């Protein structure tokens, strides 16, 4: 699949505009396109993870962070060391999201008793 980096950059910019205007669904759609194409930059992953976290959608937050980690592992293998701090940041965010998911599952289980 041929990836058009200019189109991806335009999607990120348009997504940010949609976010500022409060059109989260349209922003999500554009960011998700870039994530599905393995965009080699942090913007769509950061924004989607934040949007999903704010919407209490842990499943999608975790999915996006896992994808970001795969992409940034590839970036650091390609000898782009600037990707390393972002890789660690995404891993930390993923750990927190997974921990939150576990906590919520425990709370839900306790309520059912």
| pLDDT at residue 98 in the model | 97
Task: Identify whether the C-beta of residue 64 lies closer than 8 Å to the C-beta of residue 35.
Answer: yes
Range of the domain at 58: 5-112
Residue identified by tokens 């950059």 is 9
Measure the CA–CA gap between 63 and 94, rounded to whole angstroms. 9
| pLDDT classification of 86: cutoffs 50, 70, 90 | very high
Q: Which two tokens stand for residue 75?
A: 């970036």
Write out pLDDT tens, residues 92-109: 999 999 999 999 999 988
CATH of residue 77: 1.25.40.10
pTM higher than 0.85 for the full model?
Answer: yes
| pLDDT at residue 75 in the model | 84
Write out pLDDT tens, residues 44-75: 999 999 999 999 999 999 999 999 999 999 88
Instruction: Give the C-alpha distances (Å, rounded to integers) separating 101 from 53, 89, 104.
Output: 11, 18, 5
Q: How many domains does the chain have?
A: 1
Task: Identify whether the C-beta of residue 76 lies closer than 8 Å to the C-beta of residue 87.
Answer: yes
């Amino acid at each position: 699949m041929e990836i058009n980096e200019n189109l991806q950059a335009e999607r990120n910019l348009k997504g940010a505009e949609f976010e500022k205007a409060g059109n989260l669904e349209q922003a999500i759609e554009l960011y998700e396109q870039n994530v599905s194409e393995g965009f080699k930059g942090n913007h769509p992953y950061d924004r989607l993870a934040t949007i999903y976290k704010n919407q209490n959608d842990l499943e999608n937050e975790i999915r996006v962070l896992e994808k970001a980690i795969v992409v940034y592992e590839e970036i650091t293998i390609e000898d782009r060391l600037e990707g390393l701090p972002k890789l660690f940041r995404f891993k930390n965010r993923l750990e927190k999201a997974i921990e939150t998911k576990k906590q919520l599952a425990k709370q839900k289980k306790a309520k059912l008793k």
